[in-house]
Amino acid sequence: MRKCLLLLSIFALFIACSPTSNEPGRIRIFAMDAPPPAGIEHIYLTITEVNLHRSGTGWMTVATPESTFDFLQLVNGVTAVLIDTLFQPGNYTQLRLVVEDTNQIVISGQTYDLTVPSGEETGVKLNLDFILEPGQLVEFYVDFDASKSVELADGKYLLHPTYRAFSTVTSGSVAGMVSDTSGAGIPGALVQAASTTDTVGTLTDSSGGYKLILPGGVYDISANAAGFSIADTTYQNVTIQPGEQLNGFNFVLK
């Protein structure tokens, strides 16, 4: 009898602790930014809606954050939580971010409207193929590319939102310093990691340090800054494994 009671207790504990099909999963999305064109100081975007496309169901609203982000502060490994929410399990294939029609851009201390052109969709679709299991946490980075998103036409600043998205599970990072020949750090230097399909960049901080969050892959990493020649070193064929954090990739500019 004691053995039977013990088995029943273990079975009941297993049922209580095991995820069920009715239990939601959790989705967390981090926002970050690639370097902006020269002269742009701030880009304020208001994200009004986040949608996911579920196989067999279609588009579903995950969150309506109505949150404004200064994407130009989200560089050099800095991220902000775009959404963190419970959601229905399932197989999802696309992410859609919807922004306000009118946002703001700051150039040389002057604020201008940054608008989505008439006739263009404010929602940007990104391919993401993942399965959200009951009780599971899934995390993604969404990287806003300012250099490809802002256009000046007829005296107006137009927004064509351009993003890339990738899973935190499949990403890694590379970090280091950019300095001059005296050893002083160079703030605002551009560090780029180029693969066969894409180029991702960031700007060094006030001390010359940088950090790039990248999808796993093979990259050539380089650095440059205004007033300096190219770096004495370009790191070629650097392999970044998922979850790996590489340090000491330093550059000296002359």
What HEC string does 39-76 produce? Answer: CEEEEEEEEEEEEEEECCCEEEEEECCCEEEEHHHCCC
Per-residue pLDDT of the chain (254 residues; tens, 9 = 90+): 444 333 334 334 443 444 556 799 999 999 998 877 778 889 999 999 999 999 999 999 999 988 899 988 898 888 999 999 999 999 999 999 999 989 999 998 999 999 988 766 667 888 888 999 999 999 999 999 888 889 999 889 999 888 889 999 999 999 999 999 999 999 989 999 999 988 888 989 999 999 999 999 999 999 999 888 776 678 999 999 999 999 999 999 98
The CATH fold assigned to 22-167 is: Immunoglobulin-like (2.60.40)
- Measure the CA–CA gap between 30 and 77, rounded to whole angstroms: 11
- The pLDDT, as a whole number, for residue 4 is 39
CB 188 within 8 A of CB 90: no
What letter represents residue 196's amino acid? T
CATH 2.60.40.1120 applies to domain 171-253: yes
Token pair for residue 220? 């050539």
- The pLDDT, as a whole number, for residue 1 is 44
- Measure the CA–CA gap between 97 and 5, rounded to whole angstroms: 53
Given this chain, do its domains 22-167 and 171-253 carry the same CATH topology? yes
- Measure the CA–CA gap between 45 and 216, rounded to whole angstroms: 28
Q: What are phi and psi of 12, to 5 degrees?
A: -65, -40
Digit-coded pLDDT (tens) for 130-178 = 999 999 999 999 999 888 889 999 889 999 888 889 999 999 999 999 9
Q: Domain residues of the chain, as ranges?
A: 22-167, 171-253
